[in-house]
Amino acid sequence: MRPDSSNGAGHVVAQMSMPPDRARNMRITATLMLVFMAGLFLTARQFEGIHPAWGYVLAFSEAAMVGGLADWFAVTALFRRPLGLPIPHTAIIPENKNRIADTMAQFLRDNFLTPAVVARRMQTMNMAGAVGNYLVEPRAGSGSRIGGGAAELLAGILESLDPERLGGQVKSGLKVQLAKLEISPLLGQMLTAAIADRRHLPMMDSMIRWAGLTLEDNEEMVRTMIHERANSLIRWVGLDERLANSVIDGLYRLLAEVLVDPDHPLRSKIEEGLEKLAHDLVHDQPTREKVERMKQEMLDNPAVANWWVGVWERMRAGLIAMARDPDRVLEGQLGNSLSELGAALRDDARLQWQVNRFARRTAVGVASRYGGQIVQLVSETVKRWDARTVTDRIESAVGRDLQFIRINGTIVGGLVGVTIHFLSGAF
């Protein structure tokens, strides 16, 4: 069943909120300062004639009240109607939510999601290095309010998306992209590089060990084959059993020698075969066509498509878990593997260049093909949000800074009042 998109969006917005006590405390502080200025104003009125200094106090408190009230009205008018009065151009956010959504979408389209802008902005970005640093030291950025909010926002978005529909889109998109990609030269180049760097040796050793284990598991089958192919005389005198033992022992001995001797002739033959395969994957047209046919058969196989949907769901669940609790997810063997990957991304300049180039090309392609759909999704999602919920959450998220505006307005207004009082007395 497809989840309710409005609830999912509300959940995403809920993650944007900061701890409410901090915003409430700043609101109380700003209000108490305004009340204090009102009390100071009444006191200065009582003692104004006693000493000229009380005139400055009166001017300061009066102007501070005006500044504080003006900024209180301005801050309140963003989110609701002050005192519930139907004053024009108040409750700006809830009254103009749809227009804000369209403006936000247009801003994204013009400033972020055009191919030229994406390419220019990503030209100087070292995404691979940043990802590497995070994977090596994930806790270094976990205390950041922006980083925490971004992680919660990512988790909320992933949870609110329709798994079946999104999985189908990812599956079809992956199939289209893989169908366009000719993997035979890529495999050939990877194999050539592995042989040149001697990184194929562990794989060769694993293959030899696997051959030994396979032979061990199928000894009876080998004995049966030799017994069936031996003539009746050999079977009658019982030589077939000795022959089978000799063949099996010889195979074990051969595999052991190949495994321990790095200069064994059979290893050279295997390497020659791998080098020829790498060459044919790049330069031999029949081999390339055969690999492409195999690739296409795999892509057309429903089992592969279903497998990829399962992989995507596990990836989505893993991303949600990592965003919710990065410390728990990055523990153990997975954490060590990710840390090693992060170190490679952070320290290998060539790998960084390749990853950054791939990310840049991918981002430009996404912006070119799906930029319009992305901004439309943003606009429609914001329009579906409940106005009151959005207003409360945004006010809670930025309320502390808005209350600083009230406090600053009170202080600045008072200072302006003192300055005007001084100038009017001096001139």
Residue 156 has pLDDT above 90, yes or no: no
Q: Bigger pLDDT: 51 or 32? A: 32
State the Cα–Cα distance between residues 290 and 64, nearest whole angstrom: 82
The residue behind tokens 């009254």 is 95
Q: Which two tokens stand for residue 25?
A: 């405390």
State the Cα–Cα distance between residues 194 and 187, nearest whole angstrom: 10
| 20 pLDDT tier (thresholds 50, 70, 90) | very low
Do 367 and 114 touch, CB atoms closer than 8 A?
A: yes
Residue 236 has pLDDT above 60, yes or no: no
Give the model's pLDDT for residue 142.
47
Give the model's pLDDT for residue 12.
38
The residue behind tokens 């989505």 is 316
Domain ranges of the chain: 7-161+338-426
State the Cα–Cα distance between residues 329 and 40, nearest whole angstrom: 56
Residue 250 has pLDDT above 80, yes or no: yes
State the Cα–Cα distance between residues 136 and 339, nearest whole angstrom: 5
| 13 pLDDT tier (thresholds 50, 70, 90) | very low
Pick from 369, 363, 366, 371: nearest CA to 127: 363
Give the model's pLDDT for residue 35.
92
Q: Bigger pLDDT: 7 or 90? A: 90
* Mean pLDDT of the residues in the chain: 75
Residue 339 has pLDDT above 80, yes or no: no
Do 67 and 37 touch, CB atoms closer than 8 A?
A: no
**pTM attached to this predicted model:** 0.39
Q: Bigger pLDDT: 314 or 213? A: 213
| 331 pLDDT tier (thresholds 50, 70, 90) | low
* pLDDT-wise least confident of 65-74, 93-102, 263-272: 93-102
Do 416 and 63 touch, CB atoms closer than 8 A?
A: yes
State the Cα–Cα distance between residues 40 and 59, nearest whole angstrom: 10
Give the model's pLDDT for residue 15.
40
Pick from 368, 423, 424, 421: nearest CA to 59: 421
State the Cα–Cα distance between residues 423 and 199, nearest whole angstrom: 83
Give the model's pLDDT for residue 234.
57
What number of CA atoms fall less than 13 Å from residue 336's CA on the CB side? 2
